[in-house]
């Protein structure tokens, strides 16, 4: 009777997931519809540049992202070139958000500049594409035409993500499939983690879309790519852990329903703790100032919880319905003896011979790699945002050769209209300012906006120093756009690192303490994960600098890398240590460590390979930040999986002995006083 109820429940779960998947698929396919192209959404909360972006709607034309078309002929602009620029001005009038001023010639007579005001909304990249195509279509021979400015930069980024989003997902699926085939050597079993990951991605995508459409959740460009990698990686990891435990229980139980029930009892706690660690760690981003960072937390946490829900309900139902044969050709039979001593068992015994020497040597290796992080340069210029030189950057360089350095991206300065004269005078008399435009009053007549062209290129240190000095000299004005936005972004990233990193460490440590009911073990585990992060950061920087040729680390990478590495790296240590704790209660501490490493080594290694592979696919993207995140997390996961978790943590546990579990007071079976925690003697 009990088995009949279990079978009925199994089919009910499968039926429910069929319905959920059918309902989720259409919503998930519309996720790109809620991706916001509004550049102001990513700005830091409360910053001056954000305030300027918010006030822009009060001025005629609303929020504007200029598209600047540069026409350059080294031998000098011809009448035909001027006619072409004027023809483009007339042709582009329907897509402009305001009147287009006549083309502005350079003093040297070799360039023309046409500024087209575009609405900074979800249509920006489409309209920018129209500017690019129209201006290039009738260009006379020998005239170089480039679209730059905020609209040109937005088009370059949008094109990059549009070209690569689907290929990255396909590469992720192929890579995960290859790892699973190598792991199981089964023509069938690999399908289950892939199917579960795909369904988890559909569910997560549908939830994110619904929240973005109806609850105002901000979804930025690139967020769906990170979501794909995270959901595929983490849900496959959970599936691997459950499959390994289910295989063990099939040897102990004649009925597969009872085997699955036992597997879920023993695997649920560490898997749920893992999901809690990752999702709560991601939600720590709600303390961030950066718009992208702030919004990524909820989106990524939804993906993690979606993976957890699928793996803990749909996967068990599928496994029970399909039966033991799904493991063919290595089918686990009731009463089978466990596999003979394997590689991880041999590694464990070698570590046990001299554990202190092993962990000291291991930490020395991590320390050596970490020293490379001391030479890191952070903060990429706009020109390095993509792995190839974007067209908008080429256009900006052309403008800089014939116009003041900041012509392509002027500052936007807003003040009370009554202060306009004094603010204008102060700007005109300031060092580093090339030109101050005419004031534009707001529609309510209370504010005025000035476009200020700097003498130096917007990404230069000189331009940054100019803006910081202007903010101090003219406190009654609010500075945004161009260099001001870059300053605020850098300051916000610095704040986010100071605010989020301690929160993540606190959350991870608390969850480990609750799960393990200990203090020493969580502290040691978190310490090793942090050490592996800095080692991976140092090793990654060497790759970025000397293999990839990147001049600096994107300001977001250090925080994103820390978040993913600590939250995900703790997972594997959590799976290992929770199994060690379980085994130690049956035997003794030393045997528990060795047995825990032996039985989890293979599955955790496979899980680490899967996760490293999914994040590694980000390295094929043309966006520098994504490449750096992918390489850093992949390298960190591999380092943590095969070195920290498999060597350093077991060595620390063996060297610490039962004190590893302090202040736990449980009795460890089969031991004398010397193998009990001091508090239990």
Which pLDDT belongs to residue 409? Answer: 76
Own/partner long-range contacts of 472-476 (Cβ < 8 Å, ≥24 apart):
473/426, 473/430, 474/413, 474/415, 474/423, 474/426, 474/427, 476/415, 476/416, 476/419, 476/422, 476/423
Sign of the C-alpha dihedral computed for residues 115, 119, 120 and 121 taken in this order: negative
- Kindly write down the DSSP assignment for every residue of 497-546, as one continuous string: HHHHHHHHHHHHHHHHHHHHT-SHHHHHHHHHHHHHHHHHHHHHHHHIII
The answer for residues whose C-beta is within 8 angstroms of residue 325's C-beta and 6 or more apart is 331
Q: What angle do the packed helices 149-184 and 191-214 form, to 10 degrees?
A: 150
Count Cβ atoms below 10 Å from residue 84 Cβ, excluding itself: 22
Render pLDDT for 155-199 as a digit per residue (tens, 0 to 9): 887 777 766 767 777 887 888 888 788 877 788 888 898 899 999
The answer for residues whose C-beta is within 8 angstroms of residue 420's C-beta and 6 or more apart is 439, 448, 450
Locate 96 and state its tokens: 């402009």
Locate 459 and state its tokens: 């990404």
d(CA 160, CA 388): 10
The answer for residues whose C-beta is within 8 angstroms of residue 239's C-beta and 6 or more apart is 192, 193, 196, 197, 311, 315
Q: Both ends of the chain: CA-CA distance in Å?
A: 47
Closest CA to 269 of 577, 500, 673: 577
Which pLDDT belongs to residue 669? Answer: 47
Which pLDDT belongs to residue 41? Answer: 58
d(CA 180, CA 198): 15
Which pLDDT belongs to residue 665? Answer: 61
Which pLDDT belongs to residue 392? Answer: 86
pTM of the predicted structure, to 2 decimals: 0.80
Q: Is 499 exposed, middle or buried (0-12, 13-18, 19+ CB in 10 A)?
A: middle
| CATH code linked to domain 343-388+489-665+674-678 | 1.20.1640.10
Low-confidence ranges of the chain (pLDDT < 70): 1-4, 37-42, 61-62, 162-163, 165, 338-341, 405-408, 665-681
Identify whether the C-beta of residue 519 lies closer than 8 Å to the C-beta of residue 662. yes
The answer for residues whose C-beta is within 8 angstroms of residue 680's C-beta and 6 or more apart is 665, 666, 667
Render pLDDT for 487-527 as a digit per residue (tens, 0 to 9): 998 888 889 989 999 999 998 898 888 888 889 999 999 99
d(CA 310, CA 313): 5
Which pLDDT belongs to residue 400? Answer: 82
Locate 267 and state its tokens: 């695997």
d(CA 104, CA 660): 73
Locate 634 and state its tokens: 């992949």
Domain boundary assignment for the chain = 1-34+186-328, 343-388+489-665+674-678
**Which residue has tokens 């937390």?**
297
Which pLDDT belongs to residue 38? Answer: 56
Q: Do domains 1-34+186-328 and 343-388+489-665+674-678 have the same CATH topology?
A: yes
633 upstream amide cis, omega within 30 of 0: no
Locate 549 and state its tokens: 């040729």
**Fold of the domain built from segment(s) 1-34+186-328:** Multidrug efflux transporter AcrB transmembrane fold (1.20.1640)
Render pLDDT for 266-321 as a digit per residue (tens, 0 to 9): 888 888 888 988 899 899 999 988 888 888 889 999 999 999 999 999 999 999 99
d(CA 207, CA 589): 44
| Torsion on CA atoms 631, 634, 636, 638, rounded to nearest 10 | -140
The answer for residues whose C-beta is within 8 angstroms of residue 215's C-beta and 6 or more apart is none
């Amino acid at each position: 009777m009990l088995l009949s109820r279990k079978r009925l429940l199994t089919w009910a779960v499968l039926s429910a997931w069929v319905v959920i998947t059918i309902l989720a698929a259409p919503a998930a396919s519309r996720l790109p519809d809620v991706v916001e192209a509004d550049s102001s959404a990513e700005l830091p909360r409360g910053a001056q540049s954000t305030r300027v972006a918010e006030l822009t709607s009060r001025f005629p034309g609303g929020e504007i992202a200029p598209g600047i078309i540069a026409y350059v002929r080294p031998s000098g602009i011809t009448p035909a070139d001027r006619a072409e620029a004027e023809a483009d001005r007339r042709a582009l009038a329907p897509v402009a958000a305001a009147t287009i001023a006549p083309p502005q010639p350079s003093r040297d007579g070799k360039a023309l500049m046409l500024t087209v005001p575009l609405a900074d909304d979800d249509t920006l990249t489409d309209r920018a594409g129209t500017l690019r195509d129209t201006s290039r279509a009738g260009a006379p021979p020998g005239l170089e035409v480039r679209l730059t400015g905020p609209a040109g930069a937005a088009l370059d980024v949008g094109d990059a993500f549009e070209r690569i989003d689907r290929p990255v997902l396909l590469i992720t699926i192929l890579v995960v499939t290859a790892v699973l085939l190598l792991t199981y050597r089964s023509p069938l079993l690999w399908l289950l983690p892939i199917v579960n990951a795909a369904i988890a991605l559909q569910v997560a995508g549908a939830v994110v879309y619904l929240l973005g459409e109806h609850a105002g959740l901000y979804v930025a460009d690139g967020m769906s790519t990170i979501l794909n990698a995270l959901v595929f990686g983490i849900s496959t990891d959970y599936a691997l852990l459950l499959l390994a435990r289910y295989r063990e229980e099939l040897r102990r139980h004649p009925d597969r329903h009872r085997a699955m029930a036992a597997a879920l009892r023993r695997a649920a706690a560490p898997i749920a703790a893992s999901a809690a660690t990752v999702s709560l760690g991601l939600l720590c981003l709600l303390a961030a100032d950066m718009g992208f960072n702030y919004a990524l937390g909820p989106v990524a946490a939804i993906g993690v919880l979606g993976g957890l829900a699928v793996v803990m309900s749909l996967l068990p139902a599928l496994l029970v319905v399909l039966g033991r044969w799904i493991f063919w050709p290595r089918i686990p039979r009731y009463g089978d003896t466990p596999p003979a001593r394997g590689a991880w068992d041999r590694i464990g015994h070698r570590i046990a011979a001299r554990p202190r020497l092993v962990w000291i040597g291991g930490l020395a290796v991590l320390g050596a790699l970490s020293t490379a992080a001391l030479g890191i340069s952070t903060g990429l210029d706009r020109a390095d945002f993509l792995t190839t030189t974007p067209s908008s950057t080429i256009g900006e360089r052309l403008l800089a050769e014939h116009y003041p350095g900041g012509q392509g991206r002027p500052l936007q300065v807003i003040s009370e209209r009554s202060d306009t004269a004094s603010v204008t005078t102060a700007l005109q008399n300031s060092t580093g300012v090339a030109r101050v435009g005419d004031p534009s009053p707001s529609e309510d007549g209370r504010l005025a906006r000035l476009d200020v062209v700097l003498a130096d290129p917007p990404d230069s240190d000189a331009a940054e120093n100019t803006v910081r000095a202007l903010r101090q000299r003219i406190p009654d004005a609010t500075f945004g756009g161009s260099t001001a936005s870059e300053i605020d972004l850098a300051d916000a990233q610095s704040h986010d690192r100071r605010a989020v990193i301690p929160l993540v460490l606190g959350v991870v440590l608390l969850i480990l303490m609750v799960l393990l009911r200990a203090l020493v073990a969580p502290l040691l585990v978190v310490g090793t994960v942090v050490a592996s992060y800095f080692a991976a950061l140092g090793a990654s920087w060497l790759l970025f600098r000397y293999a990839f040729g990147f001049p600096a680390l994107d300001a977001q990478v250090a925080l994103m890398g820390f978040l993913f590495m600590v939250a995900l790296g703790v997972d594997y240590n959590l799976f290992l240590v929770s199994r060690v704790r379980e085994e130690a209660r049956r035997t003794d501490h030393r045997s528990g460590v060795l047995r825990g490493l032996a039985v989890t080594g293979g599955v955790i290694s496979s899980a680490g390979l899967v996760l490293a592979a999914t994040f590694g696919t980000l390295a094929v993207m043309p966006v520098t930040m994504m490449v750096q995140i992918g390489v850093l997390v992949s390298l960190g996961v591999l380092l943590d999986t095969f070195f920290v978790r498999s060597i350093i943590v077991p060595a620390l546990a063996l060297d610490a002995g039962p004190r590893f579990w302090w202040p736990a007071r449980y009795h460890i079976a089969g031991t004398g006083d010397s193998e009990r925690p001091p508090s239990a003697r």
